[in-house]
Structure 1
Amino acid sequence: MNSYFEQLGRTVQQRWQQKNFSLEAFPELARIALDEAPPSENVDIEEMVQEFLANDDQPIQGQSGFGQPELLAFNDPRFYIQILFWMEGTTDIHQHEFSGAFHLMQGSSVHSEFDFVGAQSVTPHIRVGDLRLKKIELLETGRTVPITSGRECIHSLFHLDTPSVTVVVRTHHDPGTGPQYNYLPPHIAIDPIQADALTMRRKQLLDVLETIEYEGYVAQVSGMIESLDFERGFNTLHHTMDRLQALGEWQPVLAKFQQKHGELAEGVPATLAESLRRDTITQMRYQIDNPEHRFFLALVMNVEKSKDIQALISERFPNQSPIETILGWVEELIEPAEFGLSLLDGAFAFPESLDIQEQYDLLIDTVRHALEQGSESETAKHPEIHAALSGSCLRPLFREI
């Protein structure tokens, strides 16, 4: 592996030893080491890849599926250095069972940090509470961010460029900081590593029933929801939501879950609806490679209010009107469809008397009016179009509170 990483690893090892291998000291120590000799300025990525492909003398590689791919550049019994390529990936909202720092060696990302307040543990593997956005920022090439293990560092990354490449200096595992929860906004934290083999097999069998179009599918799921505990019931709801919605049976099954679990289930409908919206945006990211359009997706995925979205656009593009910038992206993302026009996951039908240009103009005019007036649906210009916009993944653009 590139000699830079050997030197970086030795520097971190020596300095950490001087701190008696304090886990509390490690994130800042790793950040300083990365900033003193930034990988973005000291490593030629193409040369590094060629060297890795041609030279057998490399650190022993792990079996991790994290990154696309992950390369181990330095490995010590107490910590290691990994290089993560991100081709199409964006991370879930998560916390870590390790500490250290990451450095953006190539590309750019939107980094979001969260608090999970009022948390209540239902089981050791699922918690309910309120996930609140604490900070969102644009990370450009050369930026280094510390990582603290446990619940004090809940974050996500939405990578804008292909590839984005990060260098991570991290411990193997910090005792007592797990589970490494993933967070489903706005109300659920769940352990993704939980090895519940029974639930996994049940999901697979439900997939079989869906594939063969089993007539008793809805009754089967409904019966499970009435009998299962909160954790397994939630996982079953999450897994079957798409199918139940397609069959028009989602609300009755969801109501049974709410009736069974009462107050504990109050945040579940909003969480599952938001999960579907975020999954939709993540899938669209695979089809969209323009970094500005990906930035737009990252904002509507992670920011709740229109004014905050516009403020972040102004930060990245200080010489442009944020509303005009949004309208430019909207115009670029509109596509003709059999029924009229589509904009990301929104579908818009128009009178047959309107030609295609008039349809484009009407849709853009409705978006402009909503952005400028901050209008709610009852006072919106062209209410039907506004309602379709507000029901799409773009709804944070039209939310002021």
Structure 2
Amino acid sequence: MTLVIRTNSDVRSQPQYEYHPPSLARNPFYHDPTTARRIQLLHALRDHYELFRKCLHEAVRDNDFASSVTVLLEVCKMQPKRQLVDEMIDLVVDQYGAPTKTLHRVTEELMQNLTLASLRNRVRDPAARLILALVLNGLNRKDAIAIFSERYGGDAVSRMTAAVVRLLEEGDDMRVMDPIPALLFTVLSGRPIDSCTASTGYQLRDMQEIASLLSQSLLVKKLIQA
């Protein structure tokens, strides 16, 4: 938890920027009425793709750079197709010379975190919710295990493995069967995949293929980062 104490009347402490990892900060208090109305219109048209897309193009073409980025971030919160977001990024880059890589990484991170936050709103298991909170706060595997151990004690990795299995079943709609739990336990422990082949009876190549499939899960990919 981060506690921030501010004196709002002190002009020297303004503004408090809204940070979008990995490298974008914007002033959330700047309000442009035209941009706000365009965002409202986009919300109203989100189920009408062609009109939505046309309005989106106009919002970028007829705006300044900061307002275009604001529209881009708001559109990401609507969870559109990635293709449409990339198309909008190309428009911003062409019009303002913005850094393509930065906008791609920012929008990808935002949409991924929104997906995980949506899952956290659906699950009720405390351990599973803690896993998602740790991932959303960008903690790596080792720090996550340390916090999990402090909260629950005992074999933290086993408890984490069980929580991740529940999240994969609920969030990714994955049918988790052997040897996935054993493989998850091995990966979360930071051990090489071949260390669990003897206990599972699977060949190393089979385990590597399963691990490759698991790594496509957003949750697993973020959780097992070094």
TM-score by length of structure 1 reads: 0.46
**1:83-123 residue CA offsets vs partner (Å, 9 max, x unmatched):** xxxxxxxxxxxxxxxxxxxxxxxxxxxx15xxxxxxxxxxx
How far, CA to CA, are the matches of 1:257 and 1:172 in structure 2? 33
1:148-227 equivalent positions in 2, closer than 5 A: 148-149=5-6, 173-211=9-47, 213=48, 215-227=50-62
Q: Residues 119-158 of structure 1 correspond to what in structure 2 (within 5 A)?
A: 147-149=4-6
Counterpart for residue 328 of structure 1? 162
1:388 shift after superposition? 2.6
Alpha-carbon distance change, 374 to 226 in structure 1, aligned in 2, over 3 angstroms:
farther
Q: Secondary structure at the match of 2:25?
A: strand
CA contact (8 A) 2:65 2:96 kept: yes
User: Which has the larger share of strand?
Assistant: 1
CA distance in 2, matches of 1:374, 1:233: 45
Using the TM superposition, give the Cα deviation of residue 233 of structure 1 relative to its aligned residue in structure 2, in angstroms: 1.0
Higher helix share: 2
Contact 1:181 1:189 in 2 (8 A): yes
2:220 is the counterpart of 1:385:
no
| Structure 2 spans left out of the alignment, 5+ residues | 194-204
What amino acid is the match of 2:41?
L
CA contact (8 A) 1:183 1:189 kept: yes
Q: State yes or no: 1:305 paired with 2:140.
A: yes
Alignment gaps of 5+ in structure 1? 1-110, 113-144, 150-170, 335-341, 349-355
Whole-angstrom CA distance in 1 between matches of 2:14 and 2:73: 23
Kindly indicate whether the alpha-carbon contact (under 8 Å) linking 1:278 and 1:301 is maintained by their aligned counterparts in 2: yes
Q: 1:243 to 1:323 in 2, by over 3 A?
A: closer
Cα-to-partner distance string for 1:148-167 (whole Å, 9 max, x where unaligned): 43xxxxxxxxxxxxxxxxxx
2:97 is matched with 262
2:104 is the alignment partner of 1:286: no
Summarize the alignment of residues 63-78 of structure 1 with structure 2, pairs less than 5 Å apart.
none
The Cα of 1:271 is off from its aligned counterpart by: 1.3
Q: 1:395 aligns with which of 202, 209, 221?
A: 221
Partner of 1:232: 67
Any conservation in 2 of the 1:258–1:266 contact (CA below 8 Å)?
no
Deviations 1:262-289 (A, max 9, x none): 3545422111111122222333333233
Instruction: Judge conservation of contact 2:60–2:92 (CA < 8 Å) in 1.
Output: yes
Q: Which one has a bigger Cα radius of gyration?
A: 1
What is the deviation of 1:295? 1.8
Residue 292 of structure 1 aligns to which amino acid in structure 2?
A
Partner letter of residue 382 of structure 1? I
Q: Deviations 1:203-228 (Å, cap 9, x if unpaired)? A: 111223324x1534324423433443
CA RMSD, Structure 1 to Structure 2 (Å) = 3.0
What is the Cα deviation at residue 332 of structure 1?
Answer: 3.9
- Cα drift, residue 178 of structure 1: 1.0
Amino acid aligned to 1:261: Y
Shift in alpha-carbon separation, 1:266–1:205, aligned structure 2, 3 A: same
CA distance in 2, matches of 1:374, 1:228: 51
Q: CA 1:298–1:244 in 2, change beyond 3 Å: closer, same or farther? A: closer
Change (3 A) 1:312 1:214: closer
Letter in 2 for 1:229: D
**Matches of 2:21 and 2:213 in 1, distance apart?**
27
Partner AA of 2:122 in structure 1: Q
How many residue pairs were aligned?
212
| Structure 1 pair 312–289 and aligned structure 2 pair: CA distance change class (3 A) | same
Q: CA shift at 1:347, angstroms?
A: 4.1
Secondary structure of residue in 1 paired with 2:9: coil
Scaled by the length of structure 2, the TM-score of the pair is: 0.76
Contact between 1:300 and 1:396, CA under 8 Å: does it hold in 2? yes
2:72·2:85 contact (CA, 8 Å) conserved in 1? no
